[in-house]
Amino acid sequence: MISPFLLISLVLILGILWYYSLKLAVKIKTNRILKNVSDENEGIKNIVESTTSCTFSMTQEGVFTYLSANVDQITGFSAEELIGENNNQIVLSIKALLPKESSLSSTESESKNIQIKHKNGSVRWLNLCYNKTQVKGNKTIIRGIFRDVTKDIEAKQALINSENRFKKLAENSPTAIFIFDGEEYLYVNKKFAEILGGTPSDFIGKKLSLSYMHKSDVSRIREIILELFSGKKSYSNHTYKVYNSVGEIVHIHLFGTIIDEQNKKVLFGTALDITEEVNAQKLLAEQEEQFRMITEKSFTGLILSQRKKVVYINPRFLEIIGRSGEIFTLIEDLFKLVHPEDISKVRNSIQERKEGNVDHAHYQCRMFHKKGHIVYLDIYGSNVTMNGHQAIMTSFMDITDSVKTQKTLQDSIHEKNVLLAEIHHRVKNNMAVVSGLIELQRFKTDDKVAQTLLKESQLRIKTIAMIHEKLYQSSSFSEIPFGKYLSGLVNNVSSSLYSENLNISIDQKYDNIFLNINQAIPAALLANEVITNCFKHAFVNIEKGTVTIRLKEIDENKLSLIISDNGIGLPQNYIDGDTLGLTLIRNLKT
């Protein structure tokens, strides 16, 4: 029989063994659980720290108590540099966003964007999501995450900037822009409204009205809109006429295409005011028509050439050379029609204009008519610019009849000149015969008075004969160089009245004056009488003297002839004398 003491001892020993075995089992299980929890926490920690967001906690006062290890990837600062800090600029930026203690419940959360400066100095944007949590001791902890959203914000800002730029471009575009959804205008810019004489608000949100369209284009624009929205056409590119606010017609070039806008088809279009261009083209067409009419109906032949090619020949030129209907494409083809003696002259003229030595040229040349006879042409050539390159415009005037008439006149004038020269020559010879007869008569008389009178008459005849001699020698029978004539007259008088007892010098100066025969003969007779009197009467009992002669032009219709001497002077009442010389002087001066 087992004693009670031994039994109790055995039970105690078994109990202790069971206790320790149980404790060991619990410890093993606890360690296993703790290990699993530790592995799980490590996994969570790895997940948190590997994400692009940073997990944080901080006090209500704004002091970080925890930051996941990836904070340095976002801010450039390590967790150790930020936890517990009060003055770091990132800490201060986040602290400034924290709500007051009473403003955020434990179930509410907030999300805000803040701008920070990265440790490397670059500016970053962070998005913070956080809420308030109560912990032991009723302390408030702010927990949350923040992530780098710099690229998102910059992309959004870039999109905003792009939209703003597009808006500015659209609003200030010189091209009208509109968007139409088939029923109403979704957008029009200022230029579109300006063309039609309104403001964008007059169109945006309003139904399509074609009252401003010219009636000739209304049905066409409706048809094109239907074709665009139905898909029959992908775009439209046409010109239309519309009315502006004052009722004037404006020409617009309209381009439209269908685009998708928020899964809805809309018509995007541009319109350009081409009124000035249309009017310019119309004016140009009118000018071209006028030019065509002028050149086609011109009495002057015209050729436009460029780069050795004939660009245009009007019908009149072909008519002048008798080649209507023929086609000339090269300048060299026209040179075949030029008279051989004139080819070098024409080529040199063209070359000088090509080289820029002259801009215009005027010359005459001969060309061969189709029938073989020569056509005389008066030619004007000038440089012009056509399509940005130098060209030559040449006009031709047929002067064949004028040349023939001129030649006939020149032949006639030559014949008349020959005849006049012969007449003057015969008159001079006849007067020489008369003068010779008087000379014979003078030799046959012993009467001194008669001899003097005959001598004076002989001088007068020689004076007239000298006029005809000058005309005979002159290239023009209408003009006599009177100064040269007076010089010869003085020599004739002085030689005829030469006396060994006299020493008379002549001081003579003459302007370059020409007289016709009707003026020259009386002026010559007057000068002859005065000069003769000077030699005969001015130097009686004087051995030496001077005769001064001046011929000057006073104006276009007047001349001055002054004959003077330094002799004994004129007697009183000389003008009333009845000698033939004084009678001639009185009559000739009037």
* The predicted structure's pLDDT at residue 538: 81
pLDDT of res. 368: 93
Burial of 183-198, coded b for 16+ CB within 10 Å and e otherwise, reads: eebbbbbbbbbbbbbb
Cβ–Cβ < 8 Å for 81, 88 = yes
The residue with greater pLDDT, 496 or 201, is 201
Q: Judge residue 244's burial from the number of C-beta atoms within 10 Å of its C-beta, 0-12 exposed, 13-18 middle, 19 or more buried.
A: middle
In 3D, which of 522, 425, 518, 524 has the Cα closest to residue 483?
Answer: 524
pLDDT in tens, 419-442: 666 666 667 677 777 777 777 777
Reference 466, options 447, 449, 439, 484; nearest CA is 484
pLDDT digits (tens, 9 = 90+) for 37-75: 444 444 444 444 445 789 998 888 888 889 998 889 889
CB 434 within 8 A of CB 440: no
Which residues, including other chains, have CB under 8 Å from residue 138's CB and lie 6 or more apart? Answer: none
For residue 195, give the nearest of 257, 255, 241 by alpha carbon: 241
What the block records as the tokens of 160 is 């905003």
Confidence of residue 11 (pLDDT cuts 50, 70, 90): very low
Tell me phi and psi for residue 311, to 5 degrees.
-90, -40
Highest-confidence range of 16-20, 46-50, 545-549, by mean pLDDT? 545-549
Q: How many CB atoms lie within 10 A of CB 77?
A: 19
d(CA 201, CA 95): 47
d(Cα 527, Cα 546) in Å, to the nearest integer? Answer: 16
| pLDDT class of 15 with cuts at 50, 70, 90 | low
Torsion angle (degrees, nearest 10) of CA 470, 472, 478, 480: -10
Q: Say how far apart CA 393 and CA 291 lie, in whole Å.
A: 14
Distance CA(290)–CA(388), nearest Å, equals: 23
Which position has the higher pLDDT, 201 or 470?
A: 201
Q: For residue range 285-298, list pLDDT tens digits in order.
A: 888 788 778 778 88
Q: pLDDT for 291-342, tens place per residue?
A: 778 778 888 889 888 888 988 899 899 999 998 878 888 989 899 999 999 9
- The radius of gyration of the chain's CA atoms, rounded to the nearest angstrom, is 63
H or E stretch at 544: strand 544-555
- Residue 461: both structure tokens together: 């005849």
Residues 6+ apart with CB under 8 A from 170: 177, 189
Q: pLDDT tens for residues 205-243? A: 888 888 888 888 888 988 988 888 888 888 889 898 988
